Amino acid sequence: MKLIMFALAIGSTTALAESTVRDGQHDFDFEIGHWNFHLKYLKQRLHGSHEWLEGNGTSVMRPLLGGKANIDEVSVVLPTGPLEGVTFRIYSPESHQWSIYWANRKDGQLGIPPMVGEFKDGRGEFYDQEDFEGRKIYVRFVWSNMTAKSAHFEQAFSADGGKTWETNWISDQTRSN
């Protein structure tokens, strides 16, 4: 009898957890449309640099697959030259997380592995591990302060396994349409 009660308790807990899992497939809907943005980025990353460069850009985001994916075309004028790229995001209904892929015109390659993460309490956090200057680092994207007319994005690197983070890319977006 105790075994049956334990199994029922586990089953009911699992069912409760599954029913309360948040469906985040529309978390990036705020990005649909045309945007202008101002950004600043560190001239050198993970070298203790405090010299920021600035630029301006535009982006256009379109939903795909009924909102479970989207594509964002980005064009930025930077002091180091133009940056043109595409962000592709796809939502996993199983994990309730987004995978974010980046490709730019300069190298013509899809960034793999993707950034993976989700939104909680109005903040989106996404992580991956990448090669940077011959070593593995963690990369974090953070979306915050999203409204119908504005959003804030930051990218940070960690060379110590996530103990400390160096923010190296900050953009503030405003809707242009």
**Mean pLDDT lowest for which of 6-15, 46-55, 108-117?**
6-15
Residues whose CB falls within 8 Å of the CB of residue 148, separated by 6 or more in sequence, listed in order = 30, 175
The candidate with the shortest Cα–Cα distance to 71, out of 86, 85, 58, 93, is 86
- Three-class SS state of 147: coil
Name the one residue in this structure whose structure tokens are 């909680």. 120
- Helix ranges, the chain (H): 2-20
pLDDT digits (tens, 9 = 90+) for 68-88: 999 999 999 999 999 999 999
Mean pLDDT of the chain, nearest integer: 89
Tokens of 94: 């199983």
Alpha carbons 47 and 148: distance in angstroms, whole number: 36
Residues whose CB falls within 8 Å of the CB of residue 130, separated by 6 or more in sequence, listed in order = 113, 136, 137, 139
Give the residue-averaged pLDDT of 139-153. Answer: 97
| pLDDT greater than 90 at residue 5 | no
pTM: 0.85
Q: How confident is the model at residue 11 (pLDDT cuts 50, 70, 90)?
A: very low
Report how many helices (DSSP H) and strands (DSSP E) the chain contains, helices first.
Answer: 1, 10
Residue 1 has a pLDDT of 40
pLDDT digits (tens, 9 = 90+) for 27-50: 999 999 999 999 999 999 999 999
**Mean pLDDT lowest for which of 7-16, 88-97, 165-174?**
7-16
Q: Are 119 and 144 in contact (CB under 8 A)?
A: no
Alpha carbons 154 and 144: distance in angstroms, whole number: 9
Tokens of 141: 């994207």
Alpha carbons 155 and 125: distance in angstroms, whole number: 10
Alpha carbons 21 and 16: distance in angstroms, whole number: 9
